[in-house]
Amino acid sequence: MAKSILIIEDDKNIAELERDYLEANGYEVDTQLNGESGLAAALKKGYSLILLDLMLPGVDGFEICRAIRREKDIPILMVSAKKEDIDKIRGFGIGADDYIVKPFSPSELVARVHAHIARYERLTARGDGTADDFISIGNLYIDKNARRVYVNKKEAVLTNKEFDLLVFLASNPNIVFSKNTLFDRIWGFDAIGETSTVTVHINRIREKIEDDTSNPQYIETVWGAGYRFKL
C-alpha cells in the first residue's frame, strides 16, 4: 500500500512540483494551499508524513506544527525560504522532525521523505514484549513499544524526537555524549551544523520528566562535553 503524504504549501507551483516528484516515487499525495485547510486535513486523515511550509497566510507553519503535535506523532518536515538558525531551532523545538530550505533539490526532498518514513516505521514497530522493551529508573518508566513515558505513574507526552533522544540516553546510562554525537544518532542525515537543536530537545525533555529542571535527576549536563543519563 502506497504511503500518503500531505503537502501544505501556498505556492501552487511549488506544491505541484513536490507532488509530482513524490508521486513519481510511489507516494500518494494530497495538497492544501492554505493553513486552515491544511491543518484540518492533517488532523482528519492518517498520513505517513506532512510536508509543511513555514510561511503560510493566516495560520503559519509553527502554529500548524504545534496543533498537529498535540494529537499526532507522525514525521513533520518543515519547508522554508528562511535560513535563519532561530527559525530552525524554533521549528525543532515545537516538534518538527526536519527542516529543508528553499530552493532545494527535488531528489533531496524525496530522499528525506523516504528516510523519515522508514525511520518512523522502524522506531514504532512492535517487539515481542521482552524486558528490553521497557526502561524503569526511579519514578521514570519508558515503554519503548508503546512509545510512552510515565513520571510518577502519570504520562508525559513527548514528541517523536524527544522520545528517541530520551530512550537513547536512558539505554546508555552514565556515558557522556557530545551534542554532535547525539545529533548524528537521532537526526542522522540532517544538515550539518544544527546541533543546537539537541539543547532545545534536552530542555524540553527535562521540563516533562524532571521535578526540578535546575537540578535534573536524570539528564545531566557535562559542561564542555555534552550530556549523560545518570544512573
pLDDT at 166 exceeding the cut of 70: yes
Q: Which of 47-61, 81-95, 101-115 has the lowest mean pLDDT?
A: 81-95
d(CA 87, CA 61): 11
- Residue 129's pLDDT is 42
> pLDDT tens for residues 69-81?
888 888 899 888 7
> pLDDT tens for residues 2-11?
789 999 999 9
> pLDDT tens for residues 125-135?
544 444 467 88
Q: Where are the alpha helices (DSSP H) in the chain?
A: 12-24, 35-44, 61-69, 85-93, 106-124, 160-171, 179-187, 196-209
Q: Tell me what the pLDDT averaged over the chain comes to.
A: 85
pLDDT at 53 exceeding the cut of 50: yes
> pLDDT tens for residues 11-41?
999 999 999 999 998 999 999 998 899 999 9
d(CA 122, CA 134): 17
- Residue 114's pLDDT is 86
188-195 average pLDDT score: 58
pTM of the model: 0.59
DSSP string across 126-173:
-----GGGEEEETTEEEETTTTEEEETTEEE---HHHHHHHHHHHHST
**Which comes out higher in pLDDT, residue 189 or 50?**
50
Residue pair 189/116 in contact by the 8 Å Cβ criterion: no
- Residue 194's pLDDT is 65
Name the band, by pLDDT with cuts 50, 70 and 90, for residue 165. Answer: very high
